[in-house]
């Protein structure tokens, strides 16, 4: 199965309503996806991620810009003429056909020889872990198995690019975790270029080579899951991915070791690549798991809430009028602070991330 790169260049999609008003769903975005890469479009409802996927698939036509799959510009090609296959949120299986015939459907439309169809379908069913179920009807399968059939039906066409439109959203939480691992394992095995749409952060972080964060039709950040989490490019990304404490601060000075800021009436020297200068207003991001509570220190806080969550103790504490979320993992062998107790924040300066304020 050969993979191709996907290139989106200055893509704009504008919808015009019956009242002649326009809505820009995708606003001048450019994306380069490498052959064999697994990239996820992530963002809240209405951010433009599904519209972008549908333009790659050919179900929507860009208002302007160019889409390439490999060397071929595909703007004017219908979905069936593109070297892509889509796995939908609703499995869209034919209820009157058994599993074999569901998977074989596209190959039969192409009028492949019966022997080739049989071999290809059997190989794909084995790949997705459905061997021995070819004669079953879709309603005799679990939700996870039906999703595998939908995946097999897409893969059997041997597309260069596989597109996923929130494929796991209809599954229960435990099965979702299992299936995202399975999909990623299969994708890596065959090395197919994959573009995946979800609003589920855990899916995006666990499956992707790179994540594209979208918001209101624009791209906020493109990066590896680690980059997105540890070095968010904007306040939106920091707030959208995981849990984040975001504070206002002022740059006191810039030196060879980084940036000096004042936070919680304490001074921190923060290593940063952010382009800032003295007196600039910035946002400071601290992940809750990067903060500890202690009996001693220089940032005194009052515990507002203390909740045992099994793997971690979930605290909300207050310094002056500023609230801080603290997640203390593996709390069993540590001191647990109760509501209304006093404690001190233990913050590693290396865990602070600076985001310059937008001008």
Q: What is the pLDDT of residues 77-94, one digit of tens each?
A: 999 999 999 998 888 899
Residues of 52-74 as b/e, b for ≥16 C-beta within 10 angstroms?
bbbbbbbebebbebebbbbeeeb
Q: Of 263, 324, 321, 253, which is closest to residue 288 (Cα–Cα)?
A: 324
Contact 237, 213 (CB under 8 A): yes
Q: What is the mean pLDDT of the chain?
A: 93
pLDDT confidence tier of residue 107, bands split at 50, 70 and 90: very high
With helix as H, strand as E and coil as C, how does 121-168 read?
HHHHHHHCCCCCCCCCCHHHCCHHHHHHHHHHHHHCCCCCEEEEECCC
How many other CB atoms are there within 10 angstroms of residue 144's CB atom? 17
pLDDT confidence tier of residue 1, bands split at 50, 70 and 90: low
pLDDT at 359: 60
Average pLDDT over residues 230-242: 94
pLDDT at 317: 97
pLDDT at 322: 94
Beta bridge partners of 3: none
Average pLDDT over residues 37-66: 97
Beta bridge partners of 214: 219
Beta bridge partners of 335: none
Q: Of 328, 345, 356, 357, which is closest to residue 265 (Cα–Cα)?
A: 345
**Is residue 176 exposed (0-12), middle (13-18) or buried (19+ Cβ within 10 Å)?**
buried
Does domain 6-236 bear CATH number 3.90.79.10?
no
Helix (H, G, I), strand (E, B) or coil at 295: coil
pLDDT in tens, 136-181: 999 999 888 999 999 999 999 999 999 999 999 888 888 899 999 9
Q: How many CA atoms lie within 13 A of 212 on its CB side?
A: 25
pLDDT at 170: 84
Superfamily name with CATH number, domain 244-356? Nucleic acid-binding proteins (2.40.50.140)
Q: Of 248, 277, 276, which is closest to residue 262 (Cα–Cα)?
A: 248
pLDDT confidence tier of residue 115, bands split at 50, 70 and 90: very high
CATH 2.40.50.140: which residues of the chain?
244-356
Is the pLDDT assigned to residue 2 strictly greater than 80? no
The span from the CA of 24 to the CA of 36, in Å, is 30
Helix (H, G, I), strand (E, B) or coil at 223: strand
Q: Of 49, 55, 48, 53, which is closest to residue 75 (Cα–Cα)?
A: 55
The span from the CA of 195 to the CA of 254, in Å, is 41
CATH 3.40.50.300: which residues of the chain?
6-236
The span from the CA of 274 to the CA of 281, in Å, is 12
């Amino acid at each position: 199965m050969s993979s191709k790169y996907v290139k989106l260049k200055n893509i704009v999609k504008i919808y015009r309503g019956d009242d002649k008003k326009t809505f820009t769903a995708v606003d001048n975005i450019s994306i380069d996806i490498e052959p064999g890469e697994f990239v996820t479009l992530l963002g809240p409802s209405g951010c433009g991620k599904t519209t972008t996927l549908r333009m790659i698939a050919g179900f929507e036509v860009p208002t302007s810009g160019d889409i390439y799959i490999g060397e071929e510009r595909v703007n004017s090609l219908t979905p069936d003429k593109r070297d892509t296959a889509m796995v939908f949120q609703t499995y869209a299986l034919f209820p009157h056909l058994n599993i074999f015939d569901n998977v074989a459907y596209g190959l039969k439309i192409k009028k492949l020889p019966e022997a080739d169809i049989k071999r290809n379908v059997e190989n794909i069913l084995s790949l997705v872990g459905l061997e021995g179920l070819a004669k079953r009807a879709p309603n005799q399968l679990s939700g996870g198995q039906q999703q595998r059939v939908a995946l097999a039906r897409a893969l059997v066409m041997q597309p260069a690019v596989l597109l996923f439109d929130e494929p796991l959203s209809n599954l229960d939480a435990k099965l979702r975790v299992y299936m995202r691992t399975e999909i990623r394992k299969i994708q890596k095995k065959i090395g197919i270029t994959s573009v995946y749409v979800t609003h589920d952060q855990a899916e995006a972080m666990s499956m992707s080579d790179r994540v594209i964060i979208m918001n209101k039709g624009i791209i906020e950040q493109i990066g590896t899951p680690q980059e997105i989490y540890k070095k968010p490019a904007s306040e939106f990304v920091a707030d959208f991915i995981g849990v984040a404490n975001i504070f206002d601060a002022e740059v006191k000075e810039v030196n060879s070791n980084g940036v000096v800021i004042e936070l919680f009436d304490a001074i921190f020297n923060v290593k940063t690549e952010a382009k800032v200068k003295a007196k600039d207003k910035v946002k400071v991001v601290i992940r809750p798991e990067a903060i500890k509570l202690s009996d001693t220190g220089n940032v005194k806080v009052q515990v507002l809430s203390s909740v045992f969550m099994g793997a971690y103790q979930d605290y909300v504490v207050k310094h002056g009028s500023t609230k801080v979320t603290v997640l203390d993992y593996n709390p069993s062998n540590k001191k647990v602070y109760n509501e209304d107790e006093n404690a001190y924040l233990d913050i590693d300066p290396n865990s602070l991330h600076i985001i310059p304020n937008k001008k």
